Chains A and B, each alone.
Chain A
Amino acid sequence: MVNWHIFVPIFFTAMVEWVEAFTIVLAVAMSIGWRAAGGASVAAFAALAILTIFCDRFLEYGATENWVQGLIGVLLLLFGLRWLAKAIARQAGLKAMHDESREFAETREKLERSDRHASWMIAFNGVLVEGLEVWLIVVALGIHDPGHVSAYGAALAALVVVIALGAIAHAPLSQIPENLIKFGVGSAITAFGTFWTLTAIGGDRIWPAGDWSLVILTLFYFGSGQLIARTALRRPREA
């Protein structure tokens, strides 16, 4: 029997977390394809399952969440800042665009091979940290739910809804130019990195707009990066 007092709040809270995870996977899939991004997600879910089975009773919520958030935040900052800087350099003409020459295409292949590992790790880490938050929510809110049936059911239902909505929305995104996608990916990952590192250090209340700060940060990095790349850093492209 479903306990709706547990199911409903967990469903909506988990949905927010799954949307965040799906955003990361979607962004990564635009770079390395759905198969690799999906594989990273499945691997993260497998890691989460192992974590759930073995660590349910041993982890202290706050300390663990902070520690994981901080660590993964640093990794995301390391990836995101690199991607954002490259996208700005390409947009400004300081670096060749990806499809400009055969020589660059060869370099790209080599670069993308290393980027693929980084991208895979981003998708894996993103799903893992968001999934960990869902798990903590399930454990915390579902404490009075015998066997956590309603709690885990709500988290899974939220995941199915987010995947279904994401499947409908992803097709139009494939029409966007590559560097613009990388600009978006870099901005989003840098935003997640900034958000998680500062949250891990200063706590949840450090951000003026709460969870909305993630959206604001992404827009700030994307908007200001585009503006600076098109004005101050702009170099004329070779014919």
Chain B
Amino acid sequence: MKALIKTLIGDRYNALAVSTTITLELILVATGHGAVAGYAVPVFVMAAAILLARC
């Protein structure tokens, strides 16, 4: 079970990056900034990938 969770989620940094991305998406859409989300979210995801690469 632990191995399955690790396979699905990865480490804590990965889980944090994805949950922050989803939170950002929710905030942008909920505050009416959906038009910005299409540009801001990919940039945020790329920044997260770079930070994860350095971990």
Q: Do B41 and A225 touch (CB < 8 A)?
A: no
A-B pair number, CB within 8 angstroms: 101
| B53-A202 in contact (CB<8A) | no
Report if A114-B50 is in contact (Cβ < 8 Å); known contacts: A202-B25, A206-B34, A217-B42.
no
Check A78 against B8 for contact (C-beta < 8 Å): yes
The answer to whether residues A78 and B14 also contact, given A94-B53, A198-B38, A224-B46 and a CB cut-off of 8 A, is: yes
* Smallest CB separation, B15 vs chain A (Å): 7
- Segment at the interface with B among A21-29, A80-88, A168-176: A80-88
Q: How many residues of B contact A (CB 8 A)?
A: 33
Task: Verify if A14 is at the interface (C-beta below 8 Å from B).
Answer: no
Q: Is B49's CB under 8 angstroms from A225's CB?
A: yes
**Minimum C-beta distance from A221 to chain B (A):** 6
Are A81 and B49 neighbours in the complex by a CB distance under 8 Å? yes
On whether the beta carbons of B46 and A225 are closer than 8 Å, the reply is yes
In the complex, chain B residues 34-54 whose Cβ is within 8 Å of any chain A Cβ: 34-35, 37-39, 41-42, 45-46, 48-50, 52-54
- A residues within 8 A CB of B55? 85
Q: Do A202 and B6 touch (CB < 8 A)?
A: no
Contact status B7-A74, CB under 8 Å? no
Interface residues on A, range: 35 or more
Residues on the A chain within 8 Å of B8, using CB? 75, 78, 118, 121
CA A197 – CA B22 in complex, angstroms?
7
Q: How far is the CB of A122 from chain B (nearest CB, A)?
A: 11
Q: Are B18 and A228 in contact (CB under 8 A)?
A: no
How far is it, in angstroms, between the C-alpha of A121 and the C-alpha of B53 when the chains are bound?
A: 23
Bound complex: CA A213 to CA B35 (Å): 13
B19-38 interface with A by 8 A CB criterion: 21-22, 25-26, 28-29, 34-35, 37-38
Contacts of B52 in A (CB 8 A): 81-82, 85
- Chain A interface (Cβ < 8 Å from any Cβ of B): 74-75, 77-79, 81-82, 84-86, 88-89, 92, 94, 114, 117-118, 121, 186, 190, 194, 197-198, 201-203, 206-208, 213, 217, 220-221, 224-225, 228-229, 233
A sample of 11 more A-B contacts (CB under 8 A), given A78-B15, A85-B14, is A81-B14, A85-B53, A86-B53, A94-B54, A190-B45, A201-B26, A206-B34, A206-B37, A208-B35, A221-B49, A224-B46
Chain B contact residues, CB within 8 Å of chain A: 3-4, 6-10, 14-15, 17-18, 21-22, 25-26, 28-29, 34-35, 37-39, 41-42, 45-46, 48-50, 52-55
11 contacts between A and B (CB under 8 A): A77-B22, A81-B48, A82-B52, A85-B50, A85-B55, A88-B49, A198-B41, A201-B26, A206-B29, A217-B42, A225-B49
